Amino acid sequence: MVPLHQVCGRTRFARRLPIPKASVLSKVAVMVPIGFLMCIAARGYAGRAAIARGFLFAFGIELAQVFIYSRSASTTDVILGTLGAAFGVALARTCGPAAPKPIQDTWFWRTFGWPLKLAATFSAFAAVAWTKCWPFNLAWPPEGAVEHCVAALQVPFFYHYYTTEFMAAIMVARVAGAYFVLGLLLKSLLGPTRGASIASMIVLLGFAAAMEVAVSLLPNKPPDVTDVILAAVGSLFGVRYCSGFFRLFLSGAGPAGTGSTSERAANS
């Protein structure tokens, strides 16, 4: 298969298909944390070695799919995975543990840190709402919104039961992971106090419930109480471990590993 033919549409067959932008972005994004972790695990934070390992990781995934009947290997996924790993390495060497100076000690972060966190938090909430409710063809149920929600609700994990184990795991990880990130961002934005933790949980649970109410107004998208439960779990872990997460992954110390002031990045 020609690399990137699904993206560039340079073959006669590919021109008939829409450009899979969401698929391309997801395949790049899923490898960003892999590249980040490989960089901070490499001796001396060697960037090239980490990118090479990211390539081998992506190549290994595609090679394994050759032997799975329901899957197919793609050179495009190897390229996109390597690109995502390279982004992760760049992130680790710019504002992560491989950075020569903690990002919170720079003038840029002291000046623009809080606005950037506000923009990141708003963007994350908007992204979750977009993926949950797209397309936005709202229609008021004839029997009323409350009656429609009650009639559509099922026992927790009802829809997960009628799919494969792999897809069920993906569905769980997607929702819990998204709200874990929201919990990290919102807690970092509001501050390190106990009141900020409580406020973060209230906002996140209210947002998750509001998303299910909005979904009830969309045709062919029934609300699912499971997503609220997973949102609560993901949010709790994000809020609870916010400081530890930023201390672990934003401790810019350079190759010597001497930095130890990164906890302020989560609270400043």
User: Tens of pLDDT along 155-169?
Assistant: 677 767 777 777 888
Q: Look at residue 263 in the predicted model and tell me its pLDDT.
A: 45
pLDDT value of residue 18: 53
What pLDDT score does 212 carry? Answer: 85
Local structure of 4: helix, strand or coil: coil
Among 91, 83, 73, which residue's Cα sits nearest to residue 26? 83
Q: What is the DSSP letter of 112?
A: H
Query: Taking Cα atoms as reference points, which of 43, 94, 17 lies closest to residue 257?
Result: 43
| pTM over cut 0.75 | no
Residue indicated by tokens 């299910």 = 212
- Is the predicted pLDDT of residue 151 greater than 70, yes or no? no
Least confident of 84-88, 167-171, 208-212, 234-238: 167-171
**Dist CA 36 CA 90 (whole Å):** 8
pLDDT at 253: 47
- Find all residues with CB under 8 Å of 186, minimum gap 6, and list them: 121, 200, 203, 204, 238, 239
Residues in the chain, overall count? 268
Strands in the chain per DSSP E:
none
Label residue 259 by pLDDT band (50, 70, 90).
very low
Q: What is the pLDDT of residue 16?
A: 47
- The answer to whether 183 and 204 are in contact (CB under 8 A) is yes
